[in-house]
C-alpha cells in the first residue's frame, strides 16, 4: 500500500511544501537591521565679562528702648531720613525698598542668666544706585545717619540676561569647534545636530554674575565693626555651558 495515496498523507505533504516555500518569503519581508549612526558628543564653554552698571546697598537701623513705641518711633525716624537721602541718588520709586518693621523683646545672657534689656525694633532699607559715579557720595552721606549695620553691597548689570545668552552662544560655537576637531582626527565629517542642551553647572549659577559682598558690618559711633568692604566693583563674568550631539558622516 502506498502511504502517500491517502488524502491525509497528501495534505501533510502539501502543508510541508507550503511551509518550505514561505520561509524565504518571510525572510525577505523582514527589513535589515538598522546600522547605528556614529555620534560625537561635546561640551562647549563660553564666557563674557562686563563692568557692572548698578549697585544695591542694604542697611539696617535697630534700637532698644524701655518702651516698645519709643523703639519703633526711633527706627522710623532713621528710616525716613534714609529714604529722603535715597531720593537724591535714585531714579525711580522702586529703586528704594523698605522691609516691614520688627519689634521684639531684647535680652542679654550673662553668667548663665537672662537679663531683660528692653524692647527692640529694627527695619532695613535697600537702595539701588544706577549711577555708580554717585555711589561713594551716597555712602558718605548714608554713614552720617544713625544706621546700625550695613548688611549687603552687591553689583550687577541691567542687561544680565542678554549677556548670559551671549555666553551661551559662545559656548555653542566652542562645542562646534571641538566637534570639528574630533571628527577631523577620526577622518570623518561633522553632520547634523542630533541634540543640544544649554544647562547650568556650579560655575554658572547667578552668584557668578553678582559681585556680592555679605558685609554684615556693624557701625558703632563713627567707627566700623566687622569686616571691611570695597566701594570699587569688580568685573562681572557671565558663563555658559553647552552640550551638543552631532552626527558623524
Which positions ≥6 away from 153 have C-beta within 8 Å?
Answer: 55, 56, 57, 58, 212, 213, 215, 229
Q: What is the pTM of this model?
A: 0.69
End-to-end CA distance of the chain: 69
Tell me how many degrees the CA angle 77-153-123 measures, rounded to the nearest 5.
Answer: 25
Output the pLDDT for position 203: 44
Q: In the chain, which residues have pLDDT < 70?
A: 1-35, 200-230
Say if domain 49-161+200-244 classifies as CATH 3.30.70.2970.
yes
- Max Cα distance, the chain (Å): 129
Contact 37, 247 (CB under 8 A): yes
- Backbone torsion region of residue 224, taken as left when φ is above 0, otherwise alpha when ψ lies between -120 and 50, otherwise beta: beta
CA distance 142 to 148: 11
Tell me how many degrees the CA angle 138-141-144 measures, rounded to the nearest 5.
Answer: 145
Query: What residues pair up with 153 in beta bridges, in sequence order?
Result: 57, 213
Output the pLDDT for position 169: 94
By C-alpha distance, which of 49, 51, 50, 47 is closest to 168?
A: 47
Output the pLDDT for position 37: 80
CA distance 23 to 57: 82
Residue that is written with C-alpha cell 549687603 in the block = 152
Query: Which pairing describes strands 217-220 and 190-199: parallel, antiparallel, or unpaired?
Result: unpaired
Which positions ≥6 away from 66 have C-beta within 8 Å?
Answer: 118, 119
Residue burial 170-187, b: 16+ Cβ < 10 Å; e: rest: bbbebbbebbeebbeeee
Output the pLDDT for position 34: 61
Amino acid at each position: 500500500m502506498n502511504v502517500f495515496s491517502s488524502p491525509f498523507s497528501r495534505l501533510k505533504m502539501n502543508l510541508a511544501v507550503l511551509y518550505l516555500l514561505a520561509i524565504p518569503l518571510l525572510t525577505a519581508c523582514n527589513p535589515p537591521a538598522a546600522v547605528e549612526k556614529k555620534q560625537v558628543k561635546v561640551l562647549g564653554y563660553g564666557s563674557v565679562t562686563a563692568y557692572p552698571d548698578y549697585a544695591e546697598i542694604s542697611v539696617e537701623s535697630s534700637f532698644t528702648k524701655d518702651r516698645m513705641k519709643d523703639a519703633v518711633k526711633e527706627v522710623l525716624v532713621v528710616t525716613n531720613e534714609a529714604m529722603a537721602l535715597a531720593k537724591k541718588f535714585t531714579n525711580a520709586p522702586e529703586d528704594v525698598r523698605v522691609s516691614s518693621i520688627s519689634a521684639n523683646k531684647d535680652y542679654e545672657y550673662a553668667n548663665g542668666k537672662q537679663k531683660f534689656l528692653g524692647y527692640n525694633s529694627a527695619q532695613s532699607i535697600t537702595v539701588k544706585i544706577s549711577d555708580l559715579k554717585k555711589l561713594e557720595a551716597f555712602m558718605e552721606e548714608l554713614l552720617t545717619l544713625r544706621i546700625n549695620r550695613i548688611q549687603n553691597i552687591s553689583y550687577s548689570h541691567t542687561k544680565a540676561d542678554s549677556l548670559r545668552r551671549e555666553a551661551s552662544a559662545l559656548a555653542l560655537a566652542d562645542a562646534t569647534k571641538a566637534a570639528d576637531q574630533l571628527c577631523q582626527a577620526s577622518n570623518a565629517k561633522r553632520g547634523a545636530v542630533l541634540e543640544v542642551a544649554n544647562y547650568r553647572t556650579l560655575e554658572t549659577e547667578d552668584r557668578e554674575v553678582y559681585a556680592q559682598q555679605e558685609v554684615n558690618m556693624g557701625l558703632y559711633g563713627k567707627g566700623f565693626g566687622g569686616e571691611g568692604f570695597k566701594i570699587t566693583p569688580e568685573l562681572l563674568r557671565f558663563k555658559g555651558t553647552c552640550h551638543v550631539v552631532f552626527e558623524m558622516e
